[in-house]
C-alpha cells in the first residue's frame, strides 16, 4: 500500500482498518509512506526490487492530486494496482472499488434542497454512501499481463475495453 502518512484518513485506514481485513484474508500488507509527490519514484524503485503481488492506494489528497503520475509509474512497473476512485482507472489504472460519486452527489443535492426549504441540518440523518462501483480497465490488464477472471468481470459496474 502506498499512502500519505500525514493524511489522517489514509493513516487510519493503513494502521487500523486494513490490517484487520488482511489478517482475515491471510494477506500480508506492506505499507509504504509517501509524504510528497517526488517520493513516488523512490518508492516504486524499491517496490520493483521486492515485486509485490499488487498495490493498493488508499484515499488521500497526495495520491489524488498526483493521479496521472501515480498511474503512469504503476503501469511502467507493471504492478497490478487498485485505487479508491474510478478516475484512476479512467487514467489507465487497473481497477477501483469505491463509492459511486454521482450517486453520492445526488444525495447531497437532496439534502441541500431540504436545507434550502427550511430543514435544519441537525435534523437530517448522517448517511454513508449507498452505492459502490467496481471499475476494471481491460486495456491495462492486457498491457501488464494480468488476466481478470470472468467472475470478477461479471461483477464489474464498468469495464474499459
pLDDT at 50: 83
pLDDT at 128: 92
pLDDT at 44: 82
pLDDT 10s digits, 7-31:
998 889 999 999 999 999 999 999 9
| Residues 113 and 121 sit within 8 Å (Cβ to Cβ) | no
Instruction: Spell out the alpha helix ranges (H) of the chain.
Output: 8-12, 18-25, 40-50, 61-65, 67-77, 86-90, 101-116, 138-144, 150-155
In 3D space, the residue among 56, 48, 66 whose CA is nearest the CA of residue 31 turns out to be 56
Q: Under CATH, what is the fold of the domain 2-99+132-160?
A: Rossmann fold (3.40.50)
Task: Identify the three-state secondary structure at position 5.
Answer: coil
Please determine, for residue 58, whether its predicted confidence score (pLDDT) is greater than 80. Answer: yes
Provide the whole-model pTM: 0.86
pLDDT at 46: 84
Amino acid at each position: 500500500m502506498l499512502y500519505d502518512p500525514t493524511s489522517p484518513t489514509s493513516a487510519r485506514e493503513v494502521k487500523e482498518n486494513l490490517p484487520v481485513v488482511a489478517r482475515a484474508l491471510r494477506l500480508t500488507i506492506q505499507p509504504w509512506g509517501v509524504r510528497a509527490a517526488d517520493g513516488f519514484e523512490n518508492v516504486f524503485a524499491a517496490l520493483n526490487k521486492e515485486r509485490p503481488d499488487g498495490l493498493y492506494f488508499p484515499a488521500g489528497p497526495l495520491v489524488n492530486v498526483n493521479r496521472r503520475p501515480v498511474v503512469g509509474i504503476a503501469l511502467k512497473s507493471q504492478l497490478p494496482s487498485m485505487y479508491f476512485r474510478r478516475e484512476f482507472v479512467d487514467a489507465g489504472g487497473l481497477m477501483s472499488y469505491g463509492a459511486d460519486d454521482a450517486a453520492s452527489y445526488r444525495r447531497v443535492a437532496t439534502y441541500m434542497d431540504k436545507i434550502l426549504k427550511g430543514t435544519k441540518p441537525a435534523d437530517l440523518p448522517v448517511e454513508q454512501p449507498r452505492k459502490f462501483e467496481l471499475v476494471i480497465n481491460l486495456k491495462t490488464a492486457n498491457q501488464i499481463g494480468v488476466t481478470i477472471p470472468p467472475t470478477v468481470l461479471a461483477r464489474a459496474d464498468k469495464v474499459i475495453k
